[in-house]
Structure 1
């Protein structure tokens, strides 16, 4: 039985609620796409990177095969992510339209709020050097539209993360995905080497801790600027940071949450997480945080043994 990373984190967070050492690692209402206007939210982690299609992420329309979990399936527990869009226009913004159908075959129109949103939509390039996190708008018939910025040519995997608010899957966290192609010349870009520190918009993000595959370990993220601790992080999606991870090779998905309490615009410099990534190897982590009304995205490669 597939259990989403978010559901697993929530259960473990409840068990560890009284222990400060146990922490959670790591998109307003239906129809919102506010992140599209946030500076820094939709830039590639490597601005000059292009890529080629990865066979493990490619496929004919409707031919995405179910993985062992971690969002690598177009269908799960009777719910299916469907879309007529298998190709996006290169070099300009595009609207990706999709529907989630339920076990009865009908479009689902009732979704529960998760971190203030009813749908979190992600797009990641096959080489993990491109990343987007959006909150699409839903029409009354259950059709969602994600307003994607211009994407580099190559193969991308798109993920829909949601919780049905009716039907047999009510309350169940689900992550479904499909592949989409952006035409054009594409060059593969090697994943940046594993590291514990990275720079983003003048901020330094440092990760400490030694997570191991399939095991829960504490992990801390520290954010500094010019060598000084940052203490003015602003709330984003009811937390001080949003962390998403993708596994090198298959793009397995992990959506993880910090447990640090929110106290207005006074977050940082340290954010505590409960790290549990299911597979060994390299994971590309994308940390999103906000200061002065501006969204920042920091990316680094974490090696999990």
Structure 2
């Protein structure tokens, strides 16, 4: 009597089972090898930003839970930064207004779920905390690394601010506590008194210039989806290959959304190898909202920090 064709023979069943087990092992091995993370300048208009010739020193400390020497491995900050609190952590400040037209100190504290000031921060791109100031029309960008006092009070020494509404962002990763290893971005608004004139956002473009350098951006971005973004830097039509490390990488890229000032930090993936970076730089880009975003690219050559600004439209 012949075997039922619908029932595989024992040998066939054994081979099929062995193949399935082997396939599962390969899948688990691939999953186990994947990365856990996929991921100041005072210009008062939308034109080319002036350059800074030096970096102010920042107090360092805390435990580094992420290797800043490996671009793209830092934790990606969650949310759009438009709240002053998240998961029990809060950005607090007594400064609701700052003077116009002159340098000003903005003081703030990060408190934890226990309502006490946080003083232990992990290092992210060589700093324990990154601070940004941006006006509501996305002008006046400043990126600072403030100093923290022993009581947890941070002081950001801002360049002169133009009248208007400003948003102050702090990005950080707690080095201990319930938020240990989690990247946060929190913000508060301040008012700078005076007659405020709104500067229209420049049209979307793939190129911009600053200090004689041409910066070109390539990448078709879709809201809420991660896409590769490539930045190419040239000077006099020649590729730039003398970029120096800045914050542990060759360029720092920050984006703000037109209309609500939502924040995004685009993480670099280009490996750092001495003072000869460029001309091409790669980033992980994930912008959460459709519309125009103003990108600020900071890079350093011959000890001078340059800040280029460009508008990108995200579909």
TM-score normalised per structure 1: 0.80
1:205 alignment partner in structure 2: 215
**SS of equivalent residue, structure 1 residue 219:** strand
**SS of equivalent residue, structure 1 residue 158:** strand
Higher mean displacement: 271-280 or 150-159: 271-280
Shift of 1:15: 6.7
**Count of aligned residue pairs for this structure pair:** 254
Q: For 1:217, which of 227, 231, 240 is the aligned residue?
A: 227
Cα distance in 2 between the residues matched to 1:47 and 1:269: 22
2:198 alignment partner in structure 1: 188
1:232–1:101 CA distance, 2 compared to 1 (3 A)? same
**SS of equivalent residue, structure 2 residue 268:** coil
Counterpart contact for 2:136–2:166, Cα < 8 Å: yes
2:15 alignment partner in structure 1: none
1:235 alignment partner in structure 2: 245
Cα distance in 1 between the residues matched to 2:173 and 2:44: 28
Cα distance in 2 between the residues matched to 1:45 and 1:114: 29
Counterpart contact for 1:45–1:131, Cα < 8 Å: no
Counterpart contact for 2:47–2:309, Cα < 8 Å: no
Shift of 1:120: 0.3
Deviations 1:272-304 (A, max 9, x none): 122211111000000000000000000000000
2:121 alignment partner in structure 1: 111
2:143 alignment partner in structure 1: 133
Cα distance in 1 between the residues matched to 2:147 and 2:217: 34
Counterpart contact for 1:288–1:295, Cα < 8 Å: yes
Cα distance in 1 between the residues matched to 2:37 and 2:84: 32
Counterpart contact for 1:92–1:151, Cα < 8 Å: yes
**SS of equivalent residue, structure 2 residue 178:** coil
1:284–1:48 CA distance, 2 compared to 1 (3 A)? closer
Structure 1 vs Structure 2 CA RMSD? 1.9
Cα distance in 1 between the residues matched to 2:45 and 2:220: 24
Counterpart contact for 2:206–2:218, Cα < 8 Å: yes
Shift of 1:45: 5.0
TM-score normalised per structure 2: 0.77
Would you say 1:274 and 2:287 are equivalent positions?
Answer: no
Return 5+ residue gaps in structure 2 as ranges: 1-33, 50-77
Counterpart contact for 1:232–1:291, Cα < 8 Å: yes
Cα distance in 2 between the residues matched to 1:106 and 1:151: 30
The residue correspondences of 1:240-259 to structure 2 (distance < 5 A) are: 240-259=250-269
Cα distance in 2 between the residues matched to 1:162 and 1:45: 28
**SS of equivalent residue, structure 1 residue 14:** coil
Return 5+ residue gaps in structure 1 as ranges: 1-12, 18-23, 25-34, 36-40, 50-67
Shift of 1:256: 1.5
2:310 alignment partner in structure 1: 300
1:15–1:169 CA distance, 2 compared to 1 (3 A)? closer
1:14 alignment partner in structure 2: 35
Shift of 1:46: 2.7
1:46 alignment partner in structure 2: 46
Counterpart contact for 1:45–1:299, Cα < 8 Å: no
**Greater relative contact order structure (CA < 8 Å, 6+ sep):** 1
Counterpart contact for 1:209–1:219, Cα < 8 Å: yes
Cα distance in 1 between the residues matched to 2:311 and 2:233: 17
